[in-house]
Structure 1
Amino acid sequence: MFGGPYPWSLYCGQWSILPPAPKGNYLKDKVVVITGATSGVGLEASKQFADASPEQLIFAVRSVEAGEKLLGQIRKAHPNLQDKVMYLDLTDLQNIKDFSEAIKVFGRVDILINNAGINPNFDEGPYKSTKDGYERVFQTNVLSPFLTTLLLLPLLRKSSDPKVIFTGSDVHHIAPSDLIETALQNGQSIISAYNDEGKYHNPTRYYESKLLLQILSRNLIKTLPDITTINVNPGLAMTNLGRDFNLSLSPSGIVGILWFVANARSASKAARNLTSAAA
């Protein structure tokens, strides 16, 4: 729940003075793909990317309508920007495969930003699976970004300086690791462990997804030495990531809301960590 128990690193990070957003045409001649571009940190990062003069800025989003609305806003400030909205639903593995085929028309991908994600809330909640049969948070936050990256490897390797960025979180520090450890000790599949409805715990699933994403990122650094892999922590930010939260006006609920408002940074400031990683 909001308010704890969070590591001191979260507070140190939240209250550190961030460097300004990178300036200049640092994305010149770059084909940039960003998922989850229509809200929160992704939206603000997309605006900052547009300022950097990319050769092509591609918004891979689940809501094409919201993506087109974003394009309309950005084109007012950047009428000559080459941009494109493409449909991508991380809860549908076949759609990810279709996306990886459709995007080949651009010839290459220089920077892939795996930003899209969900937080189911920190209350007790039901187990929900996707049409592919995977627990929805695990698929959206871990499996699908990983698959997207692997399917786009041929296009990334056509870049002279390929880069993959994952939107992580400092909360991976406090995620329970018992499912991973038990699976490894028993020679079982970690994927199966996270798809086991009997072991599902909704309040910690977001944390666990960010831990798994951190582990995958670190392994990609080792296994893909020809591609720069970065896991970025935007920090606690004022976004709609908590749109599924059940907020109440109980004493504890009010304390949690006040804690969040006191510590969260703006989505625009949080996006600087993404744009700085890209620069």
Structure 2
Amino acid sequence: MSGGPYPWYMYRSQWSSLPPAPKGNYLDGQTLIITGANSGIGVEATKQLAALSPARLILAVRSVESGEKLAASLKSKYPRTAFEVWSLDLLSFDSIKAFVRRAEGLDRLDVLINNAGMNPTFSDKIPRKASKDGYERTLQTNVLAPVLMTFLLVPLLRKSSSKGHEPKVIFTGSEVHTFAKTEPVTESFVSGRSILGDFNDEAKYVNSTRYMQSKLLLQMITRTLVPILDGITLVNVNPGMCLTSLGREMEFPFSLRTIYEVSWYLFNVRSASKGARNLSTAVAFTKESCDYWSNCKIHPSECTYLTTATGIKAQAVFYAEVLEELEKIAPGCTKVISQ
């Protein structure tokens, strides 16, 4: 969180009127997986999706106990839906693989919602923290892990396809990708160094910009996948800046600056329920892949960097690096992509 300055379109977006959460049997007979279902936007999105009559709603969470509480609260209200809570830790590739092996036992999977994420803080005093897999935690949670989950589950998703029904993959992105610092991406690309490697380099780590840049990197990946992930409707969703526990690990020193930033945040923030409408409307209404869904509709990204020659070339290079890295983690997982 930083109290600006932000582009004018960010404020326009935050204060835009959104349609109500969808109602009806849009998900009748379908099986859904939503990661990070037990906190923040995930809780509200799960509630909104449950109202759309899915046959099965799987809550993929780190805290099974917390997930069970949410599932129990929904079961009485939506008795026709089977709510299940599965353990998943995106900071462990072994956990992701175990989750996918379990999912392969499902008879179908219609929607995968890659919602879980993390924001390390906006303070430069916080050092880089790595997962047990050796990757910076925000990079793994917000970029590598959801893409790996998607690749591993694509075969099951495609198997569930039928005439007039195309499975969906939803990524929770963010409008912050539009004003993330792009210089590190350009510097790595122009110098011929690995973009992924540099973002995982402790010596080059800048904590305050990491969350925004992770969403830029995710946008680069999903934008590349949109035209080539055959048989899947893929959508990158911007829920907007919401009042959630996403920044639960943040540490703020007491100061006038902190008071200003907290006040600015509380004045401009959306409720988690309002932000979750972007996810539920994307699941219910999208008929075609799009690289940005904002304010409950297809929306052009304001990230001009990704429209420049440098940005386009850097995106292609980063995408290739991610594919190569994921092949090391789960050999064969990228074969689901059209070459």
Shorter-chain TM-score tier: over 0.9
Counterpart Cα distance in 2 of 1:94 and 1:206: 24
Partner SS for 2:112: strand
Counterpart Cα distance in 1 of 2:187 and 2:17: 40
Counterpart Cα distance in 1 of 2:2 and 2:192: 35
Counterpart Cα distance in 2 of 1:150 and 1:178: 29
**What is the Cα deviation at residue 187 of structure 1?**
2.9
Partner SS for 2:127: coil
Aligned residue pairs total 279
Partner SS for 1:245: coil
Partner SS for 1:222: coil
Residue by residue over 1:166-194, the C-alpha shift from the partner in whole angstroms, topping out at 9 and shown as x without a partner, is 10111101111223222222333222111
Over the residues paired in the alignment, what is the CA RMSD in angstroms? Answer: 1.1
**What is the Cα deviation at residue 109 of structure 1?**
1.4
Counterpart Cα distance in 1 of 2:203 and 2:266: 35
Who is 1:271 aligned against?
A: 276
Q: What pairs with 1:110-129 in structure 2 (closer than 5 Å)?
A: 110-124=110-124, 125-129=126-130
Contact 1:7-1:173 at 8 Å conserved across structures = no
Who is 1:190 aligned against?
A: 195
1:245 aligned to 2:246? Answer: no
Partner SS for 2:159: coil
1:142 aligned to 2:165? Answer: no
Who is 1:84 aligned against?
A: 84
**What is the Cα deviation at residue 38 of structure 1?**
0.2
Contact 2:31-2:57 at 8 Å conserved across structures = yes
Amino acid at match of 2:112: L
Amino acid at match of 1:144: A
User: 5+ unaligned residues in a row in structure 2: which ranges?
Assistant: 285-339
Contact 1:114-1:145 at 8 Å conserved across structures = yes
Contact 2:14-2:270 at 8 Å conserved across structures = yes
Who is 1:55 aligned against?
A: 55
Amino acid at match of 1:217: T
Who is 1:30 aligned against?
A: 30
User: 5+ unaligned residues in a row in structure 1: which ranges?
Assistant: none
Contact 1:6-1:171 at 8 Å conserved across structures = no
**Structure 1 runs (4+) greater than 4 angstroms displaced:** none
Counterpart Cα distance in 2 of 1:39 and 1:65: 12
Who is 2:65 aligned against?
A: 65
**What is the Cα deviation at residue 205 of structure 1?**
0.1
Contact 2:32-2:58 at 8 Å conserved across structures = yes
Counterpart Cα distance in 2 of 1:239 and 1:10: 18
Counterpart Cα distance in 1 of 2:194 and 2:155: 28
Residue by residue over 1:51-110, the C-alpha shift from the partner in whole angstroms, topping out at 9 and shown as x without a partner, is 111011011111111111111111121123211111110000011111111011212211
Who is 1:102 aligned against?
A: 102
Q: TM-score, normalised by structure 2?
A: 0.80
Task: Point out which structure has higher relative CO (alpha carbons under 8 A, 6+ apart).
Answer: 1
Residue by residue over 1:241-279, the C-alpha shift from the partner in whole angstroms, topping out at 9 and shown as x without a partner, is 111122344111111111111111110111000000000
**What is the Cα deviation at residue 134 of structure 1?**
0.5
Contact 2:53-2:80 at 8 Å conserved across structures = no
Partner SS for 1:44: helix
Q: State the identity as a percent.
A: 53
Counterpart Cα distance in 2 of 1:101 and 1:62: 17
Counterpart Cα distance in 2 of 1:236 and 1:17: 14
Q: TM-score, normalised by structure 1?
A: 0.97
Contact 1:248-1:254 at 8 Å conserved across structures = no
Amino acid at match of 2:17: I
